[in-house]
Amino acid sequence: MANVRDWRGDELSLTSFYYSIPRVTRTWLTAATLFTLACGLGFVPFGAVLLDWDRVLRKYEIWRPLTASFLLGPLGLNFLFDLVFLYRFSKSLETGVFMGSSAEYTWMLVVIEFFLCLASMVLVPLPILGRCLMMAIMHVWSRKFPRERVHVFVFAVPAAYLSFALLAINTLLAGRLDIPGIVGVLSGHLFYFLDAIYPSLHGHQRAGITKTPSWMYRLFGERPRNQPRNQRNEITQPRSASILSQIRGHHWGTGQRLGSAEDIDS
């Protein structure tokens, strides 16, 4: 069986590598792969899984918001790079900022998904949410690790400006505004503001929609952590930064995001 190397340079079988991925990222990555392949190869019609609020509300097809979040668009090189993009940033957030807490990381995805659904209902139609969700995750990562540097084409961009650089490049290459990307970034920033910025204003405690409910912890068999996420981020950032520095280039194609990443063995 072919082997791969993890971020430390240790050799892993493909099976070991797959199960070394934290479980929320692994589930999302697997679902995105299967749903996109099934639709792209014609096994499942796109019309049955796209987000269509008229069918959700009138015909009670309530699975559509979830299935739309697993779709990454048509098959091609963009799809392969999408998977790398999803793996890198999602894994880094889940193992770094959220310290492997499946309950807290899943709740963040649920909240961002709620923002995306709300935007698609009242602002602009978004039949596919997969890319929006990835852009949101990438933006949250860039806020958490603003001093990291990511290569975009031949330019090294500080992570703090990564979202805007990618939106600008995609808009220029496509010749039109990258609306899904913009909605994704705004949704990710809204979560970051409510979770990290607002609680620091006037002594507010983190609560409300971004606070992981107790039933979510019970669902994953976890206990709430007493340490705030902001403090955990400060503690784990040096280790996370050493992992995330492996992220290299993100090359973008016309009309769709085309990301790439390659490992640098330490």
Backbone phi and psi for residue 163, each to the nearest 5 degrees, phi listed first: -55, -45
- Assign domain 3-244 one CATH number from 1.10.530.10, 1.20.1540.10, 3.20.20.70, 1.10.150.20: 1.20.1540.10
pLDDT of 84 higher than 50: yes
Model pTM score: 0.78
What pLDDT score does 48 carry? 86
CB 12 within 8 A of CB 5: yes
Taking the C-alpha atoms of residue 160 and residue 137, their distance in angstroms, rounded to an integer, is: 13
The CA-atom distances, in angstroms, between 58 and each of 61, 64, 119, 189 are 8, 13, 19, 32
Q: For residue range 165-203, what is the model confidence (pLDDT) as tens digits?
A: 888 887 887 788 888 889 999 999 999 998 888 777 766
The CA-atom distances, in angstroms, between 229 and each of 21, 83, 156 are 21, 27, 28
Mean pLDDT for the stretch of residues 84-96: 88
pLDDT of 6 higher than 80: no
Mean pLDDT for the stretch of residues 95-107: 91
pLDDT of 248 higher than 90: no
CB proximity list for 105: less than 8 A, separation 6 or greater: 22, 24, 93, 94, 98
Query: What band does 8 get if pLDDT is binned at 50, 70 and 90?
Result: low
pLDDT of 4 higher than 80: no
Q: Give the start-to-end residue ranges of the domains of the chain.
A: 3-244
Q: For residue range 224-246, what is the model confidence (pLDDT) as tens digits?
A: 876 555 554 443 443 333 333 33
Mean pLDDT for the stretch of residues 212-219: 90
pLDDT of 69 higher than 80: yes
